[in-house]
Amino acid sequence: MGITFEEYDVIVVGAGHAGCEAALAAARMGAKTAVFTINMDSIANMPCNPNIGGTAKGHLVREIDALGGEMGRCADKTLIQSRTLNTTKGPAVYSLRAQIDRRSYQREMKHTLELQENLHLRQEEITDLLTENNKIVGVKTHLGIIYPCKAVILTTGTFLKGRIIIGDVSYSSGPDGLFPADRLSESLKGLGIELLRFKTGTPARINRRSIDFSVMTEQPGDNPIVPFSFEHETIDREQVSCYLTYTTEKTHKIIRENLHRSPMYSGTIEGIGPRYCPSFEDKVVRFADKERHQVFVEPMGLDTEEVYLQGFSTSMPVDVQIEMVRSLPGLENAQIMRYAYAIEYDCINPLILKPSLEFKKIDGLVSAGQINGSSGYEEAAAQGLIAGINAVLKLHNKEPLILDRSQAYIGVLIDDLVTKGTKEPYRMMTSRAEYRLHLRQDNADARLTPIGYKLGLISEERYQKFLKKQQAIEKEIERIRKKNITPSIEVNNFLERCGSAKIKSGVKLSDLLKRPEITYESLREIDPDRPELPASVTEEVAISIKYEGYILKQMQQIEQFKKMEKSLIPEDIDYNKISGLRLEARQKLSEQRPVSLGQASRISGVSPADISVLVIYLNAITRRSNENDE
Amino acid sequence: MKNRMDSIAAISTAVGNSGISVIRISGPDSFVVAEGIFKGKGSFSSFKSHTILYGKKIDPDNGSVIDEVLITKMAAPKTYTREDVVEINCHGGYVTASKILELLYRQGIRPAEAGEFTKRAFMNGRIDLAQAEAVMDLISSRTEKSSKIALSQLEGKLSVEVNRLRQGLVDILAEIEVNLDYPEYDFEEITAEKCSVRLEDIKEDLKILIESFSFGKILREGMEVAIIGKPNAGKSSLLNRLSRKNRAIVTDIPGTTRDILEEYVNIHGLPIKLIDTAGLRQTDDRVEKIGVEKALEVIDSSDLIHLILDAKSGFEKEDKDILEKVGQYSDKTLFVVNKTDATDPEKINEIRNKIPEFLEISVLEDSGINALECEIYKFVNKSRMDTDNLVLVTNARHKMLLEEALEGIDAAKSAIDKGMTLDIISMDIKSAADKLGEITGHMVSEEVILNIFQRFCVGK
Ligand SMILES: Nc1nc2c(ncn2[C@@H]2O[C@H](COP(=O)(O)OP(=O)(O)OP(=O)(O)O)[C@@H](O)[C@H]2O)c(=O)[nH]1
Ligand SMILES: [Mg+2]
């Protein structure tokens, strides 16, 4: 037996993006917290792409920030290029994406953890979870030390039984040359937790001095930079560019000729990889008639010459990799610094989790990030934040924080995982969100900051600032709705220049703003008494008015949705007694035990007819119990 | 016991159809209650399941005999509802049946809601939802053809068609969504115009489906045929002839029929609701006047009008007035000249001058009736293919969902026309696809994502 050390409220296993958010949230909510990492210099590492955000992921970062998480702030401090994607495709899908100096990001995050009250950082590998009567009581580390605790948050990323595969070479390893966590898997299995094996991959890193950028398309950042965090108004910084090149017929030929050497096709890899993150050999096989594929060259940081080849992940043997890379225009003389690899790791089937991310069967155990079957830094951080919050709420005997699908992408993410499960690493996409027009990145604060404030994760100062912003938005919307515009020559000239129909009688300013060809900015010309407002305010004002009808429609859909979410299913329901259910539905429902009709309706294998049966059944019970009460 | 259902009862034969009424009781209490009100050889509980017994119904409060009955005892689970079921056959029509029902209600049995037996069958796992809905339709279907549609629905013909349309929407959505979720990739961007053209195709097919509902309704609920005309033209006589019953009073006094009379008849397998009306004329008689007003309402609401002319009297002023009144309904008016047995060519010509085409019949001599029936059948099938191959929407919930899907497509198209952004356009298309998915039981968002990964090469 080992020595028993300090006791904690919450222990976080792993200090990646999920672990950092979990640890910070728990500590900030007052719990005595420790975060354990295998390597203190790898906190908040980005072992894959050196960027944060993108479609749907950018939304997640905004939401994390709105709730009081760290990722947005840290990204703002360390970004070296920023872009807003989808600017022509509509407000629901505007998405922020930034290239990050990854070492700075790590330093920044580590320092934030170090400065945090109630939080200890420890470099030790957790090898065992200690339980009594299916309740967490502590953890044991590789040094034989026992730390008693009330809750454990597992954020093990790709470390659990990590195995790296490059061609016919494979070895036990964590990502990015780090040690794997080999022993914890056994402990989890011992607790009756079934483990799945997932796979992901990363492309090669090249020394930029060996690249000829002159044959590539430069992709500079946007100006001005739009920050992720609602705390930051502007960011003034020199930006660096990314570059775009394309694969050639030669690249595809190399793949076809060496396909038999790919571990994916020879059967060495058993883990299930994501469809949206296919290796390049997958792309060539599955989309044989596509003549060329894009490859983006992205900087890894300011103080390094390493660059990342987005779109070119592979698990081919190294000699093939060299050939592949050098077949790309501009990379003929490329010098590879790190080879591409595929990595397999243990994860859980998220269906064994409650919507709060707690394990259904083990009290005090919570998990977040890749161990739950997701992929991506942002997805991990979002879950980490919720896991941290809920671990502490549980200690205080409070209801967990469960964001629903109409409140946040975070809600969609977690609901998808714990309700539908996943057969491959799960990536967030805007098309997964039913209420996309409401779940915009510009209003994430309106949706979530009051919640973060109540939890104690948003400071009083920030909250007051938030309230002021909301007031400013409302006031400006009111003003635009009320302001009359008369058909003067000046106004009609302006409209003509915008390619918009002239007006014959007076209209409200808001009516003009609703025209697709007219922007809030352009209206300044005929709206001289407009107040000076920050971009964050005017953006929301413009969207609220321009898309008013559609937003209203969405709100009605949300109301419908909420009804189903609010019809709770009694916890002790016996699905075997409802013989109207089809066998498959009965099994799935008994296994997963959804909390509401809404959640039940999203379980795969439960049909609308089964839901009708449930509705009738639940109505019958309530009617009878009402009668009995009378 | 928490999950126990209460017991329900209702008259299960259509009211007024025959001399015998059947009352059905279902639920855990049905045997106990039957025991109390049934008096036969031996007690109810001693009888075997699935046997028919003869006995008397008594009022348990005072022991008085209500009626002679045949009673069927069926123990769960081999019953329609999978619960204990008792069926009581009594004669004496509606009044006696209602008396028995009242008695049952007094014993704690609850009146069944419409379709509740089927609902229970569904809940207890005997049939699934689509089946239940089709069965509900079957219950109200009165003739064979209609049953056939209910059955083919069970086989999912509609699902196949709805699925095809939904798939079309999912394809469009995937093309939009891949552009939204993977903006950095170089896919061919779906243009608004292309999107609009494809939506238009789907919309057309959707409309055909929706229109089929009114036809489905005719098949299911029966087409309404109004018989109108001046007094004494022989309207009531025709109703009696077509229904093969002496339903309406027939006299040679003009103005015999005062109220509306309805009768279901079966014409070549189609259920038809015949409506006899008061003869249309100017009148000061208060009762007759009301009858005339009602007749005018029926003209408006019916699916088909038979305007009866009298060959014996020829074309008169009253006929002229009536012609004016039905002018706006010319699409659904069939002209019928009756009493061809008692006329001369002159009178017929007189009519032909005003009305070029009509059917000649004589109810008295039973001539032309077959031809008339054929006309009715043809009218129902007008511009329709063989009903056996039609995909028909017969369920009101399905029709509503189809209409909502159509609204979604219209909204998407108008968003395209207005130059809205892709995220907005996609919202309306998605809601249309969702509505169709509610009919077939598919989750659209998952399919879109699947579709994206199948068709587009994306990823790091
Ligand atoms: N000769 C002859 N008489 C007929 C024929 N059909 C009906 N009649 C007679 O015409 C008279 C009126 O028939 P009804 O059926 O009562 O006429 P109606 O149109 O219902 O009359 P109202 O109810 O008064 O509007 C009766 O005496 C019938 O016997 C026919 O085909 N030939
Ligand atoms: Mg009559």
By CB atoms closer than 10 A (0-12, 13-18, 19+), residue B445 is: buried
Per-residue model confidence (pLDDT) at position A277 = 60
Query: Is the pLDDT reported for residue A199 higher than 60?
Result: yes
DSSP code of residue A133: T
Could you tell me if B37 and B9 are in contact, meaning their C-beta atoms sit under 8 angstroms apart?
no
B418/A277 Cβ within 8 A: no
Cα B235 to averaged position of ligand 1 atoms, centre (Å)? 7
Per-residue model confidence (pLDDT) at position B3 = 36
Which pair of tokens denotes residue A560? 């419908």
**How many Å apart are CA A201 and CA A409, to the nearest integer?**
25
**How many Å apart are CA B425 and CA B434, to the nearest integer?**
14
Residue-level length of chain A: 630
Average pLDDT over residues B361-366: 93
**How many Å apart are CA A27 and CA B110, to the nearest integer?**
60
How far A568 CA lies from chain B's nearest CA (Å)?
17
Among B128, B418, B427, the residue with its CB nearest the CB of A609 is: B128
Mutational test site, ligand 1, from B237, B251, B309, B366, max ligand atoms within 8 Å of CB? B237
Mean pLDDT value across chain B:
80
Domain limits at B158? Answer: 135-212+392-441
Per-residue model confidence (pLDDT) at position A538 = 94
Query: Is the pLDDT reported for residue A100 higher than 60?
Result: yes
A621/B3 Cβ within 8 A: yes
Per-residue model confidence (pLDDT) at position A571 = 87
B441/A294 Cβ within 8 A: no
Backbone φ, ψ for residue A98 (5° rounding): -135, 140
Q: Which ligand 1 atom lies nearest to the CA of residue B338?
A: 31
The answer to whether A55 faces chain B, any CB pair under 8 Å, is: yes
Query: Is the pLDDT reported for residue B19 higher than 70?
Result: no
Q: How many domains does chain B have?
A: 3
Give the residue, B59 or A136, on which the prediction is more confident. A136
**pLDDT, tens digit, 9 for 90 and up, residues B107-154:** 888 877 766 777 777 667 666 555 555 555 544 444 455 555 555 554
Name beta bridge partners: A240. Answer: none
Query: Is the pLDDT reported for residue B385 higher than 50?
Result: no
- Rounded to a whole number of angstroms, the distance between the first and last alpha carbons of chain A is 61
Per-residue model confidence (pLDDT) at position B194 = 86
**How many Å apart are CA A448 and CA A472, to the nearest integer?**
18
Domain assignment present for B457: no
Q: Which residue of A has its CA nearest to B121?
A: A580
Could you tell me if A62 and A429 are in contact, meaning their C-beta atoms sit under 8 angstroms apart?
no
Percent of chain A scored above 70 by pLDDT? 96
Q: Which residue of B has its CA nearest to A340?
A: B460
DSSP code of residue A532: P
Helix (H) or strand (E) holding A213: none
Mean pLDDT value across chain A:
93
Could you tell me if A550 and B431 are in contact, meaning their C-beta atoms sit under 8 angstroms apart?
no
3-state helix, strand, coil in chain A (%, to 5): 40, 20, 40
The candidate with the shortest Cα–Cα distance to A593, out of A353, A338, A385, is A353
Domain assignment present for B282: yes
Query: Which residues 551-590 on chain A approach chain B with CB closer than 8 angstroms?
Result: 553-554, 557, 577-582
The answer to whether B130 faces chain A, any CB pair under 8 Å, is: yes
Give the residue, A161 or B418, on which the prediction is more confident. A161
Whose tokens are 């809940």? That residue is B123
Per-residue model confidence (pLDDT) at position A83 = 96
**How many Å apart are CA A491 and CA A508, to the nearest integer?**
12
B122/A613 Cβ within 8 A: yes
Query: Is the pLDDT reported for residue A169 higher than 50?
Result: yes
Could you tell me if A364 and A152 are in contact, meaning their C-beta atoms sit under 8 angstroms apart?
yes
By CB atoms closer than 10 A (0-12, 13-18, 19+), residue A245 is: buried
Domain assignment present for B2: no
Residue A15 CA from chain centroid, whole number = 16
Average pLDDT over residues B379-401: 65
Q: Which ligand 1 atom lies nearest to the CA of residue B362?
A: 31
pLDDT band at B305 (very low <50, low <70, confident <90, very high): very high
What residues have CB less than 8 Å from A499, skipping those under 6 apart?
Answer: A517
Q: Which residues from B are below 8 Å from A578, CB to CB?
A: 123
Per-residue model confidence (pLDDT) at position B16 = 40
**pLDDT, tens digit, 9 for 90 and up, residues A367-420:** 999 999 999 999 999 999 999 999 999 999 999 999 999 999 999 999 999 999
Is beta strand B38-40 parallel, antiparallel or unpaired with respect to B20-26?
unpaired
Ligand nearest to the CA of B308: 1
Same domain, B123 and B139: no
The candidate with the shortest Cα–Cα distance to A296, out of B62, B460, B207, is B460
Average pLDDT over residues B269-283: 85
Same domain, B115 and B26: yes
**How many Å apart are CA A165 and CA B101, to the nearest integer?**
77
**How many Å apart are CA A503 and CA A492, to the nearest integer?**
7
Query: Is the pLDDT reported for residue B252 higher than 60?
Result: yes
Same domain, B233 and B362: yes
Same domain, B404 and B375: no
Same domain, B313 and B339: yes
Q: Which residue of B has its CA nearest to A282?
A: B457
Could you tell me if A448 and A66 are in contact, meaning their C-beta atoms sit under 8 angstroms apart?
yes
Domain assignment present for B182: yes
DSSP A263-302: HHHHT---SBPPTTS--HHHHHHHTTT----EEEEEE--S
pLDDT band at B1 (very low <50, low <70, confident <90, very high): very low
- What's the CATH number where B140 sits? 1.20.120.430
Residue A147 CA from chain centroid, whole number = 31
Domain assignment present for B452: no
- What's the CATH number where B258 sits? 3.40.50.300
Could you tell me if A127 and A187 are in contact, meaning their C-beta atoms sit under 8 angstroms apart?
yes
Is beta strand B223-229 parallel, antiparallel or unpaired with respect to B304-310?
parallel
Average pLDDT over residues B316-345: 91
- Rounded to a whole number of angstroms, the distance between the first and last alpha carbons of chain B is 58
Domain assignment present for B3: no
Average pLDDT over residues A246-258: 94
Could you tell me if B421 and A88 are in contact, meaning their C-beta atoms sit under 8 angstroms apart?
yes
Answer left, alpha or beta for residue A269, where phi above 0 means left and psi between -120 and 50 means alpha: beta
Protein residues with CB under 6 Å of any ligand 1 atom: B 229, 231-237, 250-252, 254-257, 278-279, 338-339, 341-342, 362-364
Average pLDDT over residues A356-369: 97
Within A425-573, residue ranges assigned H as helices are 444-455, 460-482, 489-497, 509-513, 535-546, 548-566
Average pLDDT over residues B3-8: 69
Query: Which residues 138-177 on chain A approach chain B with CB closer than 8 angstroms?
Result: none
**How many Å apart are CA A357 and CA B262, to the nearest integer?**
64
Is beta strand A79-85 parallel, antiparallel or unpaired with respect to A195-202?
unpaired
pLDDT band at B2 (very low <50, low <70, confident <90, very high): very low
Same domain, B262 and B365: yes
Cα B324 to averaged position of ligand 1 atoms, centre (Å)? 23
The answer to whether B136 faces chain A, any CB pair under 8 Å, is: no
Q: Which of A239-243, A357-361, B116-120 is predicted least confidently?
A: B116-120
Q: End of a domain among B127, B149, B167?
A: B127
Same domain, B341 and B288: yes
Closest C-alpha to ligand 1, atom 16: B250
Give the residue, A66 or A612, on which the prediction is more confident. A66
Per-residue burial over B222-231, b if 16 or more Cβ lie within 10 Å, else e, is bbbbbbbbbb
- What's the CATH number where B83 sits? 3.30.1360.120
Per-residue model confidence (pLDDT) at position A80 = 97
Same domain, B327 and B234: yes
ipTM of the complex model: 0.84
DSSP code of residue A4: B
Per-residue model confidence (pLDDT) at position B72 = 84
pLDDT band at A22 (very low <50, low <70, confident <90, very high): very high
Which residues are within 5 Å of ligand 2 (an ion), measured at CB? B 235-236, 256-257
Same domain, B340 and B423: no
How far B181 CA lies from chain A's nearest CA (Å)?
6
Average pLDDT over residues A79-97: 94
Residue-level length of chain B: 460
Could you tell me if B326 and B305 are in contact, meaning their C-beta atoms sit under 8 angstroms apart?
yes
Domain assignment present for B450: no
Q: Which of A99-103, A275-279, A496-500, A564-568 is predicted least confidently?
A: A275-279
CATH numbers and ranges of domains, chain A: 3-197+347-453 (3.50.50.60), 205-344 (2.40.30.260), 473-553 (1.10.10.1800), 567-629 (1.10.150.570)
Q: What is the 3 state secondary structure string of chain B?
A: CCCCCCCEEEECCCCCCCCEEEEEEECCCHHHHHHHHEEECECHHHCCCCEEEEEEEECCCCCCEEEEEEEEEECCCCCCCCCCEEEEEEECHHHHHHHHHHHHHHCCCEECCCCHHHHHHHHCCCCCHHHHHHHHHHHHCCCHHHHHHHHHHHCCHHHHHHHHHHHHHHHHHHHHHHHHHCCCCCCCCCCHHHHHHHHHHHHHHHHHHHHHHHHHHHHHHCEEEEEEECCCCCHHHHHHHHHCCCCCCCCCCCCCCCCCEEEEEEECCEEEEEEECCCCCCCCCHHHHHHHHHHHHHHHHCCEEEEEEECCCCCCHHHHHHHHHHHHHHHHEEEEEECHHHCCHHHHHHHHHHCCCCEECECCCCECHHHHHHHHHHHHHCCCCCHHHCCCCCCHHHHHHHHHHHHHHHHHHHHHHCCCCHHHHHHHHHHHHHHHHHHHCCCHHHHHHHHHHHHCCCCC
The candidate with the shortest Cα–Cα distance to A392, out of A599, A73, A118, is A118
Q: Which ligand 1 atom lies nearest to the CA of residue B253?
A: 24
* Test mutation, B6, B184, B428, chain A, max A CBs within 10 A: B184
Average pLDDT over residues A51-66: 97
Would you call A24 helix, strand, or coil by DSSP? helix
**pLDDT, tens digit, 9 for 90 and up, residues A449-479:** 999 999 999 999 999 999 999 999 999 999 9
Residue A76 CA from chain centroid, whole number = 17
Domain assignment present for B387: no
Same domain, B239 and B363: yes
Same domain, B367 and B227: yes
Per-residue model confidence (pLDDT) at position B190 = 74
The candidate with the shortest Cα–Cα distance to B408, out of B434, B428, B436, B438, is B428
Q: Residue B136 to residues A610, B8, B140, B141, B247: CA-CA distances in angstroms?
A: 18, 17, 7, 9, 29
Same domain, B182 and B238: no
Per-residue model confidence (pLDDT) at position A271 = 63
How far B174 CA lies from chain A's nearest CA (Å)?
9
pLDDT band at B199 (very low <50, low <70, confident <90, very high): very high
A609/B441 Cβ within 8 A: yes
Backbone φ, ψ for residue A352 (5° rounding): -85, 5
**pLDDT, tens digit, 9 for 90 and up, residues B68-107:** 777 888 888 888 788 899 988 776 556 677 778 888 888 8
By CB atoms closer than 10 A (0-12, 13-18, 19+), residue A567 is: middle
